[in-house]
Structure 1
Amino acid sequence: MANNEFGYTAWGKDWIRLAEPLRQTRPEPLLPRARRVARNDGVAVTIDGHTVRASIHRGGQASVTYLEVEPMSRGTIETIGAVIGDPTVLTDDMHRAALAAGARLAPIVTATDCSCKARSPRCLHVLATYYDVARRVDDHPRLALEIQGYFQGGQPDSEAAPQEHRWIPISTLDPADYFAVAAPG
């Protein structure tokens, strides 16, 4: 793609890989529509720590999308800090150097939710949010590190269980177990 408007930096390409994974074996029919929504400023993103919330307006419909990104470990932050030094201006060469040093730079999305009818972790609105965040990261690569908690110090490297999510997407609940009534004893 000679004229790629999303993911033209190595930092933004990490976000594009969430929408367009390399292991994908068949075409995703929602990707062109998701790119069009993001290109036409149909996504209003708010980033708060490790969460990305987006309001997507498409025609007469509106949806709210929620993404939660796993914070970097302290070891990863130290590795990146040793290679990059001052993260004021991040370049593609710094990205390659951090990867060569063994740092994991690609974001890991731990939770997704969307208010649309699709109830899918890969709905049009989630994909459009990935593209919009990729464009923002291309413009300001420092945002890629901010979303993953690089400047907050990250998680400690321990074997402790990860922090529980504040809420559970309704699509993960099993109605048979949720509405089970215990017999009086």
Structure 2
Amino acid sequence: MADNEFGYTAWGMDWVRLAEPLRVVRPDPLLPRARSIARNGGVRVEISGRIVRAAIHRGGRASVTHLEVAPLPRGAVTDLATLVADATTLTDEAHRAAVAAGRSPAPELAGIDCSCSARTQRCLHVLAVLYEMARQVDLDPRLALSVQGYFEAAHDDPQAPAQTPRWVPINSLNPADYFA
């Protein structure tokens, strides 16, 4: 095992980069506590499709965190299917090949919600969930693609759209359709 307890594979490091982006200019004081919570088993994660639900217990407090992972675009699914010969054993070389081809398998978060009182996108609980996901992805790299809908999209009809919009922008609605 490498020196880094979270993200010692390239697949898990993508999740660590969500918690520790490279563009940050000063250290985040919440990161050590978030790593400690994840390290000591304070995060219980349930994954349902592209939704990651987590219960975080810290002391006498508990929080519920929801992360929605954006689906991989159709082009990325088809390119990754050709680049990754065997999706049952994902290696760091497969990750490097995907990045070199311009199809990074790094996850993007479509939605974040936490029940804590911090009311920020980067609260302690969200960061702890990201570290726990990095740990789980390190153990099973297939999870990195599964939570992005790769395996469902790979078996779908290639002509069907890979993603459906979660929200409809209000300016795209025509009031005449509703108030005629």
TM-score, length of structure 1 as denominator length: 0.84
For residue 35 of structure 2, what is the amino acid of its counterpart?
R
CA drift of 1:162 comes to 5.2
CA distance in 2, matches of 1:160, 1:150: 10
Partner in structure 1 of residue 120 of structure 2: 120
Partner in structure 2 of residue 59 of structure 1: 59
For residue 86 of structure 2, what is the amino acid of its counterpart?
D
Residues 36 and 101 (structure 1), Cα distance of their counterparts in 2 relative to 1, 3 Å cut: same
CA drift of 1:104 comes to 2.5
CA drift of 1:161 comes to 9.2
* Offset from partner CA, 1:32-87 (integer Å, 9 cap, x none): 00000000000000000111000000000000000001000111011111111120
Q: Is the 8 A contact 1:83 1:97 kept in 2?
A: yes
Partner in structure 1 of residue 49 of structure 2: 49
CA distance in 2, matches of 1:100, 1:71: 20
CA distance in 2, matches of 1:90, 1:164: 30
CA distance in 2, matches of 1:30, 1:73: 32
Q: How many residues align?
A: 165
CA distance in 1, matches of 2:32, 2:159: 39
Q: Is the 8 A contact 2:68 2:111 kept in 1?
A: yes
For residue 111 of structure 1, what is the amino acid of its counterpart?
G
Q: Is the 8 A contact 2:42 2:57 kept in 1?
A: yes
CA drift of 1:164 comes to 2.1
- The 4+ residue runs of structure 1 with deviation greater than 4 A are 154-162
**Which sections of structure 1, spanning at least 5 residues, go unmatched?**
166-185
Aligned residues: CA RMSD: 2.2
